[in-house]
Amino acid sequence: MSAATASPTAASAESALDTAVELLRGRKAAVLTGAGVSTDSGIPDYRGEGAPRRNPMTFQTFIRDEHARKRYWAGSHLGWRVLRDAEPNLGHRSLVTLEERGVITGVITQNVDGLHTSAGSRRVVELHGSMDRVVCLDCGQAFGRDSVGERLEKVNPFILLPEAVSIAPDGDAEVTDIDNFVVPECTVCGGILKPDVVFFGEFVPSGTFTEASALVQAADVLVVAGSSLAVNSGIRLVELARRRGMPIIVINRGVTKGDGRAVVKLDTGTSETFAAFVARLVD
């Protein structure tokens, strides 16, 4: 049975790590990351153990319901301030080292926290956008998130960051008292502003997915880390790798939709696993 078609190993964690390292040795890998890569930076996982059940904002609701936009922007602002202060963790830094040493060709991320870029990764494809940008849905004008945040706080001086905020990986936070909240408008046309992220009910921009696909096609191995692959964009990239006969490595605590396509599954944390890759693959 070839490496590309073998079933996931049921061996020990150390044996699985050995197998993954040998698959990576002498090859170029693309890495697909999810929320589990950022948990060590204090950003929670959507679907990990202990994660609360949520009903995230859909694009359709955001567009049609002014009250929902108020709730979203109030919560998103508090969540953004937490994301903005988050620091890259050992996993992010290890990926930078692996890229610098030619082990990986780049990172495709489902995360919107910007931590791969902050850590120093050079080639990052943000499948679902980034919370540090805001766009106008009417005229297309783009804004930096900090500038919009300053305007938001000026017209909503009561909005204060609690000592502890419950946030989600998309930068949202739970806020209930928003009756008096004023949603910022586009300063160019007065249109609706939205963080430059893909909401539920939206599609990943075609150009972004094409760039992600090209990164997978240029690699010899695909590593999936910290993602349950419940979102369609991620599993499409895994399927692309499978069809090309590429070995697939999955690193995630718990079951993922890609386990059946993986040559090896590591039920381990992403930070320590990427650090182990550095120790074994970088001279």
The residues that are catalytic are: 128
Nearest to 71 by CA among 167, 148, 173, 155: 173
Q: How would you class 69 by CB atoms within 10 Å of its CB: exposed for 0-12, middle for 13-18, buried for 19 or more?
A: buried
8 A C-beta contact, residue 104 and residue 31: yes
8 A C-beta contact, residue 32 and residue 258: no
Encoded amino acid at 143, one letter? F
Q: What is the spatial distance between Cα 244 and Cα 218, in angstroms, rounded to a whole number?
A: 11
Rg of the chain (C-alpha set): 20
Q: What is the spatial distance between Cα 121 and Cα 109, in angstroms, rounded to a whole number?
A: 11
Residue 255, helix vs strand vs coil: coil
Q: What is the spatial distance between Cα 77 and Cα 84, in angstroms, rounded to a whole number?
A: 10
β-pairing, 142-144 vs 193-197, is: unpaired
Burial track 111-135 (b if 16+ CB lie within 10 A, e otherwise): bbbbbbbebebeebbbbbbbbbbbb
